[in-house]
Amino acid sequence: MSNFIENQKWRYATKKFDASKKISEADFNVLKQAIQLSSSSYGLQPYKVFIIENPEIRAKIQPVAWGQSQIVEASHLLVFANITNFGASQIDSYIENMATTRGITVESIQGYADFMKSKITTLPEDLRNTWTSKQTYLALGNLLNAAAELKIDVTPMEGFEPEKVNEILGLNEMGLNASLLATIGYRHEEDATQHYAKVRKPENELFITL
């Protein structure tokens, strides 16, 4: 645990990446597994994660991401896209996956499927979209922690125009919405931000014990 805390002290939102340094395939596979294994509500993982390798697409995204250089300089760019209008069909797919994975019948867990549908499909679409968007943050948290352990930098980004990213990637047609961006790579030695003291609330201000 001491290493975990030290890694958290080490990480920061990198402002300038070293474009000459690329993440190894082995390390990137670890990061993908961290995202895949992330917790999510009911285990449903109501999102997709796009790995944007094409430099032309990244160049199109940069202007609608407030011109931030990390979009094109980082080793990797991820777009977390939440599923819109999440409903019964996605729950049925999850139940089928669960049955296959655990070697059980769909019928044996139909009650769980019906329970999830009663809690999720009855919500207005806008609330379901907000809920699925929030789930992407759980996956991002796992990515941040795994990357820090590997001494790989990640900059999570909300500073972008989702509707423009949706248009560039054709997400609307896929029933998806760009919720978060994450640039991944290695900090540039010229990025002065890495030398700043980490600013956080003191424990006595942050925590309330009742």
Segments making up each domain of the chain, as ranges: 2-82+126-206
> For residue 82, what are the β-bridge partners?
47, 177
> Percentage of the chain surpassing pLDDT 90?
99
Q: For position 2, what pLDDT does the model report?
A: 72
pLDDT tens string 81-109 = 999 999 999 999 999 999 999 999 999 99
Dihedral sign of CA atoms 142, 148, 149, 150 in order: positive
pLDDT band at residue 67 using 50, 70 and 90 as cut-offs: very high
Q: For position 154, what pLDDT does the model report?
A: 98
Residue 21 to residue 74: CA distance in whole angstroms = 8
Taking residue 18's Cβ as centre, other Cβ atoms within 10 Å add up to 18
pLDDT tens string 187-208 = 999 999 999 999 999 999 999 9
Residue 1: is its pLDDT beyond 70?
A: no
Residue 184: is its pLDDT beyond 80?
A: yes
Provide the residue type at 165 as one letter.
Answer: V
DSSP 171-209: TGGGTEEEEEEEEEE-B-TT-GGGGSPPP---HHHH---
CATH T-level assignment (fold) for domain 2-82+126-206:
NADH Oxidase (3.40.109)
